[in-house]
Structure 1
């Protein structure tokens, strides 16, 4: 008999939830992690009492009560509500697009005035019946002002290409709210774990053996021999040695700054920079996620980046070419008898945290039948 029932490759949210459920069911689990810490991209680094979201801002939100109850049984969540600000060439606008935004853009005060202004701007693009790219799609949906000031520059920075070269399907719709409401998410449940995400991961992996600093791909044969089954949460193309080609991603680069002489840098957790000239897409001020009162602050400049080996893959490029490659890897994955594939990298998807938790629970439920 092998020492473990499951070898779980990756200690991010998907792997941690699966390991937690397997452990509760009496299964022997070994979790391995390439990084020197657990938690994957939701790992927080404590700096001067501030929990810094090391790999980008993570805000837990869901409309799934079962998932919300599940994570709250593990750790208490605060009442943080995501209300980002857009900075376009020094002028500030509320997000998502709501009556505050429309007032800041045009001075309109009623929903009727706002609707009329949007319809007036959209009429200029009625001739676009079949949008050929993101720019045409956005102009048709929202008109000139919102597109030029709040969408175009941010999107081009994010994807590293002009909007005229991006597919129209990236923007299928543009949600407008004709009320004064800056809550970015429509989900009824939202918050941040009190004390940071490390507490959530710690609760999930309690009493489970974890080995950090362990590269699965470098020691695959001996690690596989330790367990009856493997849950792999890494890049699916890497698992199969890129046999069907490389999947494309966009990456991110973070510049963290500890400002010891500033108590509050921007007055908000998230400020997006929507002009093309500013090289970063947003600035995160981490203390505001937990209503911090520290005398210093930590901010992070977030820069979109081209993906290459050695960088973290963040956003899949879900175009036709990559979707075809991924389907080939899915077929290979289905042929594996002892290996399960889960998580955003193994599924080549961008997944919110609640969907990640739900998918891990569903996989375990299937395994436990």
Structure 2
């Protein structure tokens, strides 16, 4: 708008905001498509998002439930005390080192995790959760999926190390609505159903959907994991005392329970919880996470070759770039792209 450019935004869903959409239920801002916690070390990104909302002081401190045993995340001295009864960081370090798999080149996620944190942490806090998340045995998941596992020999339960962290007061939807002020927005609109029309009216297209779909799956479909959400209103003020509780045993089918009110320190008389189930993407689902194994990455590069030749299309986001992004990275990439586009215009 500030550059006197007209913008039409279309969304196949019935609301703006994509996966960060929040809606009020019983006075609680519910993260409709899974929890989103904003965190970054990029001051410019932080200052930018704060133009559209006030962020609270929420600090992500999830806990893990393994067969009724409660552990702090990320792995820190609170975790190690619960596991082994140790309060000396040197002793915790010694135990982990004694359990680590000595392996020059891990061939699977299981070997990679064991080489990083040892047997006890892997068996109780990684194995079951990861197998539910990916729908595969850890022995069959590539090692590179886990490049590192944060291990802290302090008593700090802050999951992220980032300087800036919080949840927008009032949820994410108002941020998106402010970003779209002055833009034409069409909801319940499928780009592919009217592709020729939209291509014809646009000087440039910003595409954030599935890259393989954009090219009619000509090299075959890219694979994704998706999520199913089971949301419930409970007639009590507090269900689990924390926003995020991971369930790390494989026998429990969901990966975690989100209690939304705790993101904004709510005191409402009722509470809303969401159980998250991970599953393989099927046609008609919403794709969430790219499966960046060798087969899919090679297929993606074939699509990227076509995308790089496009002069009037900008591809951005998890689906169009087939890459996992945190929210701050999306904002950073968007700011960089806009600067480049306006400079060239």
TM-score when normalising by structure 2: 0.98
The two structures, once aligned, show a CA RMSD in angstroms of 0.8
In 1, Cα distance between the equivalents of 2:12 and 2:237?
Answer: 35
Aligned residues: 343
Give SS of 1:357's match.
helix
Question: Is 1:305 matched up with 2:283?
Answer: no
Q: Which runs of 5+ in 1 are unaligned?
A: 1-22
Question: Is 1:202 matched up with 2:177?
Answer: yes
Question: Is 1:339 matched up with 2:313?
Answer: yes
Give SS of 1:73's match.
coil
- Once superposed, which parts of structure 1, at least 4 consecutive aligned residues long, lie more than 6 Å away? none
Q: Is 128-137 or 316-325 further displaced after alignment?
A: 128-137
Q: Is the contact between residue 230 and residue 275 of structure 2 (CA under 8 Å) also seen in structure 1?
A: yes
Q: In the TM superposition, what is the alpha-carbon distance from 1:24 to its structure 2 partner? A: 2.1
Among 109, 112, 120, the alignment partner of 1:145 is 120
Q: In the TM superposition, what is the alpha-carbon distance from 1:132 to its structure 2 partner? A: 1.4
In 1, Cα distance between the equivalents of 2:211 and 2:268?
Answer: 42
Question: Is 1:193 matched up with 2:168?
Answer: yes
Q: In the TM superposition, what is the alpha-carbon distance from 1:350 to its structure 2 partner? A: 1.0
Give SS of 1:81's match.
coil
TM-score when normalising by structure 1: 0.92
In 2, Cα distance between the equivalents of 1:118 and 1:107?
Answer: 13
Among 191, 214, 237, the alignment partner of 2:189 is 214
Give SS of 1:138's match.
helix
Question: Is 1:119 matched up with 2:94?
Answer: no
Question: Is 1:59 matched up with 2:33?
Answer: no
Among 122, 133, 142, the alignment partner of 1:167 is 142
Among 9, 15, 19, the alignment partner of 1:37 is 15
Among 48, 64, 70, the alignment partner of 1:70 is 48
Q: Which runs of 5+ in 2 are unaligned?
A: none
Deviations 1:301-335 (A, max 9, x none): 00001101110111101011111111111111122
Q: In the TM superposition, what is the alpha-carbon distance from 1:336 to its structure 2 partner? A: 1.6
